[in-house]
Amino acid sequence: MSTLTTRLRVMHIISGDLWAGAETQALTLLKHLHNTVSIHVVVMNNGELFKRLENLQIPVTLLPESELSTFYIFIKLTRLIRAFNPDLLHTHREKENILGSFANFLAALPLKKRARSVRTVHGAPEFLPKGKQKIQAALNNWTGRYLQEVIIAVSNELAEKLKLIYPAHKIRVIPNGVDRDELRAHASLADFRLLAPNHKHIGIIGRVERVKRIDIFIEMANMLLRNSGFAHSLKFHIIGDGGLRAIMEQTVKQLGLDDHIHFHGHRADIASCINSLDVIVMCSDHEGTPMVALEAMALGVPMVAHKTGGLSDILEEYPELLVCNHNAQSYAKQVLDAIERRPMVELNMRYISTANAHAINALYGHLTN
């Protein structure tokens, strides 16, 4: 049992295979927790998250799932939990939820008290599970019901979806948070802005996968370039990488828009990219509380977004920027309006990283005391 004079011992288990919103949020949280609890992070892939944790000197263990069997990772996790003896275990995705929960259970045998366990659900599933994926999804749901105490949802809409799977009393809504000061310190002007300073730059930032609906963004750009009075001064940017990139590039080429729509792939200077855009578009089919959206608002960049998930909450004070009809024509209309009006936006304080860390710390304290 932790006391008021003893720092909580907390272990996080994260995939880290991508550098996307969930990983960005996890790193932001871990930087805050590092100052308030004794922390150890287990990362399953040697990617950007692992490198940044090492650079910040946050204790981290790499268990690369590309090199190690699932059984070996499970045994190693069990030993790490026994050695670190955490008060609380925090997991972040399906595989990590399952392995972490069962390893935590095994580590407590025969007499040791099991660490309290929570998970963060960063977004709704992007596709229906098939074959072996159904088994993983079922195990994920079972561990959430019986081996973990709290399910953290990053938006109110996501919480309502999770209540269809888990007991309502287990679900807490804790929105993501962004470190506004650090973000602004790293935000300068990106190369594309310097090369075309007098153009209007419109961008979408995220994985080039189906759920992000890059196809809608391209169709919207095509409409604006062919029908807008601003067409001669518009530049469109797709920032991110993914499995559909080649297909989307071919679509742009077939439309003859290579000179107007630019694919940037993965970039390390996301803050500068956001800061260099006149409008950001988020036309995903569904979202949790995306970090790019929070970063855009923190930098004062207008965001035209699908009225779904946490995006509705983020733009609560700016309903005119929300799109209800999820089609290219509606996004084109709202983007054109945003270019003409140049609305001033700012991030609600509930999405600041310190608010997120305070809520997580309070939850940890409640569970362990």
What pLDDT, on a 0 to 100 scale, did the predictor assign at position 2?
Answer: 45
What pLDDT, on a 0 to 100 scale, did the predictor assign at position 21?
Answer: 80
What pLDDT, on a 0 to 100 scale, did the predictor assign at position 126?
Answer: 63
pTM of the model: 0.85
What angle, 0 to 180 degrees and rounded to 10, lies between the N-to-C axes of helices 291-298 and 21-33?
A: 70
Low-confidence ranges of the chain (pLDDT < 50): 1-4
What pLDDT, on a 0 to 100 scale, did the predictor assign at position 127?
Answer: 67
Task: Please check whether the two domains, 9-177+352-368 and 181-350, share a CATH topology.
Answer: yes
- Report phi then psi at 201, rounded to 5: -105, 125
What pLDDT, on a 0 to 100 scale, did the predictor assign at position 353?
Answer: 95
Domain ranges in the chain are: 9-177+352-368, 181-350
Rounded Cα distance between 335 and 329, Å, is 10
CATH number of 181-350: 3.40.50.2000
Range 186-198 burial, b when 16+ CB lie within 10 A, else e: ebeebebbeeeee
| Contacting residues for 212 by C-beta, under 8 A, at least 6 apart | 204, 206, 240, 242, 283, 284
pLDDT in tens, 30-83: 999 999 999 999 999 999 999 999 999 999 999 999 999 999 999 999 999 999
- Report phi then psi at 347, rounded to 5: -80, 135
SS3 21: helix
Bond from prior residue into 302 cis (ω within 30 degrees of 0):
no
Judge residue 243's burial from the number of C-beta atoms within 10 Å of its C-beta, 0-12 exposed, 13-18 middle, 19 or more buried: exposed
Tokens (6 digits) for 214? 């890059």
Residue 90 host element (H or E)? strand 88-91
Architecture of domain 9-177+352-368: 3-Layer(aba) Sandwich (3.40)
